[in-house]
Amino acid sequence: MINFNYETDFKIDNEDQITNWIVTVIETEGFKLEEINYVFCDDDYLYKLNVEFLDHETLTDIISFDYTVGKLIQGDIFISVERVKENAQDFNVPFNKELQRVIVHGVLHYCGYKDKSTSEAKLMREKEDYYLEQLA
């Protein structure tokens, strides 16, 4: 089950399409969906989580809490809509495309992909691009 929660004045227009896409990503990666809770929020909301749980005093676009057990995907993904909007402008891409990238980014972390090293980040970006093409 995928749940979309809103802590800011924002709502995804195509929740069913995004849900089906996420399930396809998870299944393609060899996992099974248990539950993912997406929480769309503002910078302040996400900043507080970043300080409290990760001890990072920085703004970020996404924080994911992974409760995956084996191949059963579970977790909470918090996304700052403000940060995604700013990143979309900085990268000169449409807001929806950047939002979709962040949405799938969290799921790919649950599937075991990392992005700390240059090679990990490269593979993560390739996976994001691949799955964004599947949605288009």
Give the domain CATH number at 96. 3.40.390.30
Annotated binding-site members for Zn(2+):
105, 109, 115
Residue whose tokens read 């995907």: 73
What are residue 57's phi and psi, to 5 degrees? -100, 60
Q: What percent of the chain has pLDDT over 70?
A: 99
CA distance 111 to 32: 10
pTM confidence score: 0.91
Number of independent structural domains in the chain: 1
Q: What is the domain extent for residue 29?
A: 2-135
Annotated binding-site residues read: 105, 109, 115
Q: Using alpha carbons, list the distances in angstroms from residue 2 to 10, 21, 60.
A: 17, 11, 22
For the segment 89-98, what is each residue's pLDDT rounded down to a tens digit? Answer: 999 999 999 9
Amino acid 34: pLDDT: 97
Contact between 86 and 45 under an 8 Å Cβ cutoff? The reply is no
